[in-house]
C-alpha cells in the first residue's frame, strides 16, 4: 500500500493523491489522480480529515464533511473507487455520518499503537463493520516518548521467544486487536519483515501485558487546527505538537 495525500506533497512521486476535501472537488480531484496513476480506479479513497482546506492548504475552510461524503459516494457510484472511507474522524462524527450516509465508510484510518490503543473507537468500528487502519503503529518505539522503546525488556523477550523483531511483535499485537497497521518504510528488508507476522500468535496473557502500555498518549496531534468546528481530537492549551515531558503526555481519549 502507498499512503499519500495532496497535503504531503508527494503525489507526483507516487501518483496517488487525495486532493482537497472541498465537496465540489472530490470527483475531479480523484480523476486527476487517476490520470497521473494511469489507472481507471483506486481500491480505496479516503477523506483525509473532517477539516477542509483551500487547494494550496494555506488555510482551512468550514465545509460540512457530510457534503464531502456525498461526493465520495458519487466517486464510488462512478466506479472511480472500489471502496471509500474516512480518516481522523471521532466517534461523534462517525455517528453523524452513519446517520446520513447512503454508502457506509469501509475504513477508518486513525492513529493506533501501544501507547494509544483507542479501544472505544476500535470497538465502535468493529460493531459497525468498519475496518480500522492504524497509522503510526510504532508510536514512540523508535524515538523519544513514553515507553516502550525498542529496547524494552518485555518486547525483547517476546521477540526472542517468537524469533521475530520487536517491530514484528508490535505489528502482530495490533493485528490481533483487529486493526490493520500501516507501518511506514522505504527499506525493502523491513517492508518484507513487516508482512511476515502471520506465522505466530501472541497468547491472551501476552496481549494483556502489552495492553498495559496504553496511556492514551497521542503521537500525532495537530493542535493548530483546534479552533475549527470539525476538529476531531481533544483540545489542549499549549500550541506545540504533543510534547513529551517526563511522565506527562497522558491525554484524555477523544470521543
Supply the residues annotated as catalytic. 8
User: Helices in the chain by DSSP H: which ranges?
Assistant: 11-14, 26-37, 65-77, 91-100, 119-127, 153-162, 166-177, 188-195, 204-211
The rounded distance, in Å, linking the Cα atoms of 95 and 242 is: 27
C-alpha to C-alpha distance for 83 and 107, rounded to whole angstroms: 8
Q: Supply 114's cell numbers.
A: 501501544
User: What residues contact 101, with CB distance under 8 A and at least 6 apart?
Assistant: 66, 69, 73
- Three cell numbers written together for 122: 476500535
Residue 131 φ/ψ, nearest 5 degrees: -70, 135
Q: Which residues pair with 108 in a beta bridge?
A: 86, 132
Integer Cα distance of 79 and 82 in angstroms: 6
Count of helices and strands (H, E) across the chain: 9, 7
Amino acid at each position: 500500500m502507498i499512503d499519500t495525500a495532496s497535503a504531503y506533497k508527494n503525489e507526483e512521486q507516487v501518483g496517488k493523491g487525495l486532493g482537497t476535501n472541498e465537496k465540489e472537488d472530490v470527483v475531479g480531484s480523484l480523476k486527476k489522480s487517476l490520470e497521473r496513476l494511469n489507472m481507471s480506479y483506486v481500491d480505496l479513497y479516503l477523506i483525509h480529515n473532517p477539516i477542509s482546506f483551500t487547494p494550496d492548504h494555506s488555510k482551512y475552510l468550514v465545509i460540512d464533511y457530510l457534503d464531502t461524503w456525498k461526493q465520495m459516494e458519487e466517486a464510488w457510484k462512478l466506479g472511480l473507487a472500489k471502496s471509500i472511507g474516512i480518516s481522523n474522524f471521532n466517534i461523534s462524527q462517525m455517528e453523524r455520518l452513519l446517520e446520513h450516509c447512503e454508502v457506509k465508510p469501509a475504513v477508518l484510518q486513525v492513529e493506533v499503537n501501544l501507547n494509544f490503543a483507542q479501544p472505544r473507537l476500535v470497538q465502535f468500528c468493529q460493531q459497525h463493520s468498519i475496518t480500522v487502519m492504524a497509522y503510526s503503529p510504532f508510536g514512540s518505539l523508535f524515538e523519544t516518548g513514553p515507553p516502550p522503546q525498542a529496547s524494552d525488556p518485555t518486547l525483547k523477550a517476546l521477540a526472542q521467544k517468537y524469533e521475530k523483531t520487536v517491530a514484528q511483535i508490535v505489528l502482530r499485537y495490533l493485528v490481533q486487536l483487529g486493526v490493520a497497521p500501516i507501518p511506514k518504510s522505504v527499506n525493502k528488508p523491513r517492508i518484507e519483515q513487516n508482512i511476515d507476522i502471520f506465522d505466530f500468535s501472541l497468547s491472551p496473557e501476552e496481549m494483556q501485558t502489552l495492553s498495559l502500555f496504553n496511556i492514551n498518549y497521542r503521537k500525532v496531534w495537530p493542535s493548530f487546527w483546534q479552533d475549527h468546528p470539525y476538529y476531531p481530537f481533544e483540545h489542549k492549551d499549549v500550541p506545540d505538537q504533543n510534547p513529551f515531558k517526563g511522565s506527562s503526555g497522558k491525554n484524555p481519549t477523544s470521543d
